[in-house]
Chains A and B, each alone.
Chain A
């Protein structure tokens, strides 16, 4: 399970949003509701007409025109059918419209997430929201909301009809069931939400566990994990079974209670209504029609109750989707404008967790146009320093400035024009090869795209595929090394004056990588490049090398100077070259 990192909207926010949605299209909504109302109204004719017939039979009448009554029933049925058709269509169309708006707004919110959140949060939580929560909300908007509205409209008309046809007296018996349904449903709903969440999570754990076993089958054999994986499956099954049993026990109480709630009014109306009839307070017609109405009321009521917990699931999903907008913006533009291209870090400290600084007072002057390589062991803080130099996070203390202006005080658009970061994490977007490069500068022409690809040694294979080739998920598969080339090509196209490359060529074959870095350097001549590298020749080729160890810059100077100095860098270089 991925940890939830992004915020979740509170109940009041969800409610306010749902209310806004409901009244956003007043005309369409009222038209759909009116159609459903009329359909329900036509549905009321059948029992009334049948009740009349039964009355006639009971009275022993002979001059009844059965055909007219049957035709009337058929006519009302036809009207109801046509109205239902348009009512369902109208509400579905409205639902699709609202749904499309909801998901588009969500994607807009995701695309507006602050850079520091995106870099820190990882994608697990966001992917869950994008897939599972959007799905859950679709179900709610497509089915639960319309079904509940229809059930409410139909139910209200039925009760109304009961009053009109049977009079208040006939409505009394059915009230017997209200407390039973009300109390049992409240009891159930208070428990069902968490129960179904747990059930869903346990089931997901089970299928994910199976997927892991399958995907890691070779590893299972290599490390002798057979028993562990079997035990894991059995344990997941136990977890899922316990969750299923619990929600089943809830239903075991609620279902019979509600079913009794359906039967009691029918029996009560027949029996009490029958007693009233023996007292001549009501007619046969009233009892028959009343009983049939009550029986028909079961359907909307059942729909209402069966969709109501879906509504809970939907609102939980909605809370997570809306929550994405609750991430506070991380940049506070102060209006400062950079004077020059020089990037400077002064006494920079940074901590991911309070009290655990990973950078301890770093001072660094990056000279405009230079090629600075950062080397050092994993976990020394190279990547963190890289992100600070790219203006993604602000330092805990100290400053990182470009031309004297603090990087985190620049608006995002301005920042992107100044400095950009490419990490070893790469992603090929679903779309054409051209689209994948154009992200850097959407208005660029094919010539510029070609030049960018040439600069990263990618033109040879890119030309073979063609710029119109569909790549990414479902398209032509692109190797990780090629994906890194695309990421660099984007950057070349975007053309900021300072580039931070965090292991940006780590997946490319060593010999090729070196060639690439050289051709890239030619294109980027005059630009400042800060390269975090795990291959020493990157350091060898750079103007200056900064060795980062334990959150400090321990050595800084040109390759030759450092080798001369005979420090740790020299020792490493020595063992590498031998």
Chain B
């Protein structure tokens, strides 16, 4: 992935290098300035001051350029990951929920892209840091070997000395994050169930429970703070001691005349400066590991292949026939399918739509020989698990971009839903139809399927969550809306079955009876007891 980044990455590394080196050179220039001052050399003082200023300008300019490159690299990595994952999700389609948990893929969006972006960012800063350390080392060793060695050995030792604290810190932070997560879940739980709590009481119990968990989280926070504060203390102490040692050794050399006063100031500056690049390198190790883990997860998702593939046969219009059950979806009529066990009906619908393998023919051609895209355009299966996406309602209902939305909304009895929205069909709706009730979502899904107006439409329990009045209206309008097309409705509602032209009754995955609703009511007692919903006493 780093290779794809190209220019901004390399530019960024260059800027980062210049940025670190400018910072590294400031103590040297400052020291020389102090020397010039002591010699009362105004020209030298002005020159060295100008050098410090120039280094400051370089640092400021390369700093922001480096930052810009870092942001671009970060975004580039993140966006590319989102794009690839999204493309892969659309490519996998119905295979995705079978092979991956949505949580796994969504975590790509929530954290993995950030980790990948962070890794790109640290490559940029980290490589500059290595150079900066090298530059300072060379300068120090050439000025004074013992002092240089002291700083060179002291700084990494100091950096390492802090690491024993990191493990307990991370452990406690982990515990704190877990508790915080639980607490957030608890709060979300209260909000989600607020209607119940305000409706029949129980607020106090929940307030108390939240308080207990909140205090537990607070305790975990304090435990983190106790380690964190130790770390802060150590980060003052260790570099401070090193500075004291440098001062001690440097002052002795300076008093002996081996080192100028300015160089003493410089060494003090180096010791302080080196802490930053070393911290960056420690950070780099951590971020690169996380980035690699995230990248691996993304790669795993990208390597999946869709389960269902298509052939190259010519798609011909005609009846859709499931050989196993004997159910046939005929052109121009509304066919209904009632099953004693709902799962069996759904299995047949999935086979007919070719979401699972089976012996199914369309116009006499096995559907597995047909190109998948053409088949999907020809046969649409609409079930109650179908997702509603965020967007303006008209846009989300008219997925093919050429349907009659108003007519479909009427057929699905969804006018009242649209009327209640502030801008009608042009209202922006939240994802998953969150603001709609279950029955409303169901009617919107139906309206969407009807707007798409495919040659063959398979509706699975399209009226299970609506009231009898509305169900009766939908059943009546559905036949008109689908006139001249092939429709299969999986349902046990007598109101819908009564409107169908032809009804199959399925038991043990076979169509055991067929005819009109009324014929079946008299001919099959099993059918009768399935569709009258226990009315028989």
Contacts and interface: CB of A to CB of B under 8 A. Distances in A.
Contacts of B45: 270-271, 274-275, 278
A69 B255 contact: no
Interface in A526-546: 533-537
A96 B222 contact: yes
Contacts of B184: 130-131, 134-135
A110 B533 contact: no
Interface residues of A, number: 166
Nearest to B499: A575
Nearest to A547: B469
A96 to B, nearest CB: 4
Interface string A79-98: 01110111111001101110
A416 B200 contact: yes
B427 to A, nearest CB: 10
Given A70-B248, A85-B229, A229 B189 contact: no
B60 A256 contact: yes
A12 interface: no
A230 B201 contact: no
A420 B237 contact: no
From DSSP, what is the main secondary structure of chain A's interface residues? helix
B431 interface: yes
Interface centre among A87, A118, A213 (most CB of B within 10 A): A213
Contacts of B510: none
Interface stretch (B88-96, B134-142, B325-333): B88-96
B494 A575 contact: yes
Contact of A217 (B64, B96, B209, B268): B96
Interface stretch (A18-26, A258-266, A341-349): A258-266
Interface stretch (B239-247, B314-322, B482-490): B239-247
A338 interface: no
A103 interface: yes
Q: Closest 6 A-B residue pairs measured CB to CB?
A: A221-B93, A379-B416, A216-B387, A263-B56, A77-B240, A534-B467
A252 B68 contact: yes
Contacts of B430: 1-2, 124
Contact of B435 (A124, A266, A577): A124
A58 interface: yes
Interface string A442-470: 10000000000000000000000000000
Given A216-B389, A420-B200, 10 more contacts: A1-B430, A50-B264, A73-B240, A85-B233, A123-B191, A210-B109, A244-B71, A267-B49, A425-B195, A503-B439
B466 A77 contact: no
Nearest to B445: A219
Interface in A161-202: none
B85 to A, nearest CB: 6
Interface stretch (A283-291, A307-315, A394-402): A283-291
B97 interface: yes
10 contacts: A77-B237, A84-B232, A206-B82, A210-B85, A223-B452, A284-B261, A429-B196, A440-B202, A442-B204, A578-B517
B312 interface: no
B523 interface: no
Given A210-B108, A576-B495, A288 B382 contact: no
Contacts of A430: 185-186, 189
Given A69-B247, A77-B244, A214-B106, A427 B195 contact: yes
Given A210-B85, A210-B108, A378 B467 contact: yes
A115 B203 CA distance: 12
Nearest to A428: B193
A118 B380 CA distance: 39
B194 interface: yes
Interface in A253-308: 255-256, 259-260, 262-264, 266-267, 270-271, 273-275, 277-278, 284, 287-288, 291-292, 295
Interface stretch (B3-11, B30-38, B283-291, B359-367): B30-38
Contacts of B40: 277-278
Given A53-B264, A291-B30, A224 B194 contact: no
Given A96-B222, A423-B195, A511-B533, A572 B469 contact: yes
Contacts of A212: 387, 389-390, 431-432
A15 interface: no
A222 B376 contact: yes
A217 B90 contact: yes
B166 interface: no
A575 B472 contact: yes
Interface residues of B, number: 165
Given A93-B222, A375-B467, A442-B202, A252 B229 contact: no
A264 B419 CA distance: 64
B433 to A, nearest CB: 11
Interface string B76-92: 00010011011101111
A77 B432 CA distance: 58
Given A224-B376, A267-B53, A127 B191 contact: yes
Contacts of A27: none
A327 B2 CA distance: 52
Interface stretch (A233-241, A360-368, A558-566): A233-241
A85 B387 CA distance: 53
Interface string B419-434: 1100000001011101
Contact of B53 (A69, A110, A215, A263): A263
B232 A88 contact: yes
Contact of A73 (B48, B244, B438): B244
A122 interface: yes
A71 B225 CA distance: 30
Nearest to A100: B218
B279 interface: no
Contact of A263 (B60, B355, B387, B467): B60
Contacts of A123: 191-192, 194
B76 to A, nearest CB: 10
Contacts of A73: 240, 243-244, 247
A497 interface: no
A295 B57 CA distance: 16
B226 A89 contact: yes
A67 B248 contact: yes
A255 B60 contact: yes
Contact of B30 (A84, A270, A422): A270
B456 to A, nearest CB: 12
A197 to B, nearest CB: 18
Interface string B251-275: 1101100001100110011000000
A417 to B, nearest CB: 10
B234 A81 contact: yes
A142 B244 CA distance: 32
B192 to A, nearest CB: 5
Nearest to A549: B469
B153 interface: no
Interface in A30-54: 39, 43, 46, 49-50, 53-54
B353 interface: yes
Contacts of A291: 30, 34
Interface string B218-239: 1001101110111011101100
Given A2-B430, A97-B218, A270-B34, A233 B86 contact: yes
Contacts of A440: 200-202
A424 B438 contact: yes
Contact of B109 (A67, A85, A207): A207
Contacts of B108: 210
A472 interface: yes
A264 B533 CA distance: 85
B211 A104 contact: yes
B1 interface: no
